[in-house]
């Protein structure tokens, strides 16, 4: 990817996270120069980024707090586009971190779209559902922990609700697709598979019969969502079985399924 003799340059906020790490990997494989913001570039938990193909030549890590204007300006300087994947984390503990995270991302999206409309900026958003798939980073994120807990039988019972799932690699593909599609606009739901919790456990049992699994299910209401807008722009996703197998193999290699 080159423009006027130079490689295209983009910024990815929260580069060390679950989705962002795969996005950085994808961008580097496509020849982009990537500015990645992290809390501490020297922290060992960001070492996986430095080991990615082409990282030594095309990845620059910036120490940045996404709530600090000057930090962000320095990181995005010279970039043609920004993938804002990060979500600010409160300095103090909150009662329900997962709900807080969802609220923060929703409010941030609303503000970004409103600001873009007022100031003539080209902003497109991708809204993934529960993200599964192999991890590049060493820390366990919330959605991976959900699947790990299912495999380890952390709960005796679960709601038999419909879960909307998407592979982290498919999310990265969607983000890059939206960036490179001039006609992309507005919001895009990113969900590749919808499956009832009981059916998901049955599928995992067929793949990995020796793990513990929830025994009881309580009924819950269904919710329908659609990724048709993304699919019409050319987005494709991998089979759910592939996502499960790659996820479990990753967890096994990291020792996350050992013990009770």
Residue 212 catalytic?
no
Instruction: Identify the residue with better confidence: 213 or 3.
Output: 213
- Give the per-residue pLDDT at 7: 72
Mean pLDDT along residues 189-194: 96
Report the sign of the C-alpha dihedral through residues 185, 187, 189, 190, in that order: positive
Strand partners, 82: 11
Q: How many CB atoms lie within 10 A of CB 198?
A: 14
Q: What angle do CA 182, 231, 23 make, to 5 degrees?
A: 65
Convert the pLDDT of each residue in 33-49 to its tens digit. 999 999 999 999 999 99
Using the predicted structure, report yes or no on whether residue 135 has a pLDDT greater than 90.
yes
Helix, coil or strand: residue 173: helix
Res. 110 pLDDT band, cuts 50 70 90: very high
**pLDDT the model gives residue 87:** 87
**Percentage of residues in the chain having pLDDT higher than 90:** 79
pLDDT of res. 4: 46
The residue written with tokens 């430095």 in the block is 50
Assign residue 206 a region (left: φ > 0; alpha: ψ between -120 and 50; beta: otherwise).
alpha
In the chain, what are the domains?
8-86 (3.40.50.720), 122-260 (3.40.50.720)
Residue 258 has pLDDT above 60, yes or no: yes
Q: Is the pLDDT of residue 99 over 90?
A: no
Q: What is the pLDDT of residue 91?
A: 66
Res 1: pLDDT: 47
Residue range 136-157, pLDDT digits in tens: 999 999 889 999 999 998 888 8
What six digits make up the tokens of 47?
A: 């070492």
Contact 256, 148 (CB under 8 A): yes
- Residues 6 or more apart in contact with residue 173 via CB below 8 angstroms: 26, 235, 236
Q: Which of 19, 25, 98 is nearest to 58 (CA)?
A: 25
Q: What percent of the chain lies above the pLDDT cut of 70?
A: 96
Q: Which of 7, 63, 105, 152 is catalytic?
A: 105
Is the pTM higher than 0.95? The answer reads no
pLDDT of residue 3: 46
Helix (H, G, I), strand (E, B), or coil: what is residue 159? strand
pLDDT band at 259 (very low <50, low <70, confident <90, very high): low
Task: Quote the mean pLDDT of the chain.
Answer: 92
């Amino acid at each position: 990817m080159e423009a006027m003799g130079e490689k295209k340059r983009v910024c990815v906020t929260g580069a060390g996270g679950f989705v962002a790490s795969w996005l950085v990997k994808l961008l580097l494989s496509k020849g982009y120069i990537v500015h990645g913001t992290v809390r501490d570039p020297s922290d060992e938990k960001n070492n996986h980024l430095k080991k990615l193909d082409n990282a030594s030549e095309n990845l620059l890590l910036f120490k940045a707090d996404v709530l600090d204007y000057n930090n962000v300006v320095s990181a995005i300087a010279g970039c043609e586009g920004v993938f804002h994947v990060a979500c600010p984390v409160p300095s103090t503990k909150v009662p329900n971190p997962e709900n807080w995270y969802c609220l923060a991302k929703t409010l941030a999206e609303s503000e970004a779209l409103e600001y873009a409309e007022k100031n003539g900026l080209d902003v497109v958003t991708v809204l993934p559902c529960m993200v599964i798939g192999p991890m590049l980073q060493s820390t366990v994120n919330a959605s991976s922990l959900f699947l790990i807990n299912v495999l380890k039988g952390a709960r005796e019972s679960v709601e038999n609700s419909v879960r909307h799932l998407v592979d982290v690699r498919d999310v990265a593909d969607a983000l890059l697709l939206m960036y490179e599609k001039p006609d992309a606009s507005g919001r895009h739901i990113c969900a590749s598979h919808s499956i009832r919790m009981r059916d998901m456990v049955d599928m995992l049992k067929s793949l990995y019969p020796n793990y513990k699994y929830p025994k009881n299910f309580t009924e819950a209401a269904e919710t329908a969502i659609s990724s048709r807008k993304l699919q019409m722009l050319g987005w494709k996703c991998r089979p759910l079985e592939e996502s499960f197998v790659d996820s479990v193999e990753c967890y096994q290699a990291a020792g996350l399924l050992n013990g009770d």
